[in-house]
Amino acid sequence: MSVEIFYDADADLGIIQGRKVAVIGYGSQGHAHALSLRDSGVDVRIGLPEGSKSRAKAEEEGLRVLTTAEAAAEADLIMILTPDTKQRAIYEQDIAPNLKDGDALFFGHGFNIRYGLIKPPANVDVAMVAPKGPGHLVRRQFVDGKGVPCLIAVEQDPSGNAQALALSYAAAIGGARAGVIKTTFREETETDLFGEQAVLCGGASALVQAGFDVLTEAGYAPEIAYFEVLHELKLIVDLMYEGGIARMRYSISDTAEYGDLTRGPRVITPEVKENMKAILREIQDGTFAKEWVTEDEQGRPNFAKLQAAGAKHPIEETGRKLRGLMSWVDRPITETA
């Protein structure tokens, strides 16, 4: 199955420049979308609750900050970039009462539409622009004249122009410099959740921690273990990013390559692949979504416990110490150590 990929030449920036956009939320994705839309000549306002700690950050950038309800009422395109678990309540309380004929409701991830938590009225366009990367890098790439690839999807199209509007929005945040792929809310949601759980975040974090534990429990210095399983991972992934696994294997020694080919499958065994399939089934049948929404409604007790345990893993202390000595490591995201 081939996908449709669009670039800057396929997008009409004038479409989004003719809309009044409300970006709801000013976190990782919200700040990136809002600032890049503004820099692309789009009329942007931010929607945040009165007491939000994000207000000052948006105002420091010269953005107009309104309450969510005011921003939704004023705009004709509303992009929801708040945490997925909060979107349903925000939509019902502040957005739905302010939707007008011809408005467009946009998402940065399909969770709430895919799992039926938000059901928009038939008279508004419903579309998604989902960057395939963390928000801080979406902004950094835009500023550097590059872009993070985006997925776009259309769920409702009463205007008949929802796809062109989504593509125009994606271009305004730099996505069409790198490539914009057309998909569906279902495909984006299920693959995004699987990617972050099994490989990019869950799988990679667990692999790194397990490698660090094995080396330090065997008596090796934590500093050496850190460089070996975490720091150097970026350098290896950079090569994969540039030219695939084959490019990485071309660059490493033949000793490393033989170890990779013979030992890798002993780490990621057929059982691990079965575990991945089970995780995918829980995403597809809604088990994960139900669990996460319930966890959030109960005040996130398990999430908080696991977060605290992760922060206490010895690799974090070793990393803090070593990164403090690495003046050359670029750390523009200030919220983390």
Ligand X SMILES: NC(=O)C1=CN([C@@H]2O[C@H](COP(=O)(O)OP(=O)(O)OC[C@H]3O[C@@H](n4cnc5c(N)ncnc54)[C@H](OP(=O)(O)O)[C@@H]3O)[C@@H](O)[C@H]2O)C=CC1
130 secondary structure, DSSP code: E
Least distance to ligand X from the beta carbon of 274, Å? 27
52 is in an annotated binding site: yes
Closest to Mg ion by CB, 99 or 138: 138
149 binds ligand X (CB under 6 A): no
Q: Do the beta carbons of residue 149 and residue 177 sit within 8 Å?
A: no
The 3-class SS string of 325-337 reads: HCCCCCCCCCCCC
The 3-class SS string of 143-201 reads: HCCCCCCEEEEEEECCCCCHHHHHHHHHHHCCHHHHCEEEECHHHHHHHHHHHHHHHHC
Interatomic CA distance for residues 114 and 37, integer angstroms: 26
Neighbours of 206 (CB within 10 A): 11
Least distance to Mg ion from the beta carbon of 81, Å? 12
109 flagged as catalytic: yes
84 binds Mg ion (CB under 5 A): no
108 is in an annotated binding site: no
Least distance to ligand LWWEY6Y5 from the beta carbon of 108, Å? 9
Q: By CB neighbour count within 10 A (0-12 exposed, 13-18 middle, 19+ buried), where does 3 fall?
A: exposed
Interface with ligand X (CB under 6 A), residue total: 26
Q: Select the residue interacting with Mg ion from 192, 198, 225, 279 (CB under 5 A).
A: 192
Q: Do the beta carbons of residue 95 and residue 24 sit within 8 Å?
A: yes
Least distance to Mg ion from the beta carbon of 21, Å? 22
181 binds ligand X (CB under 6 A): no
SS3 131: strand
Q: Where in 66-105 is the site for ligand X (CB under 6 A)?
A: 68, 81-84, 86, 90
- The catalytic position among 31, 33, 109, 231 is 109
Which residues of this protein are in contact with ligand X, per CB under 6 A?
Answer: 24-30, 47-49, 52-54, 68, 81-84, 86, 90, 108-109, 130-131, 134-135
Which residues sit in the known binding site for substrate? 253
Which residues sit in the known binding site for NADP(+)? 26-29, 52, 54, 135
Which residues of this protein are in contact with ligand LWWEY6Y5, per CB under 6 A?
Answer: 132-134, 192, 196, 200-201
Which residues sit in the known binding site? 26-29, 52, 54, 135, 192, 196, 228, 232, 253
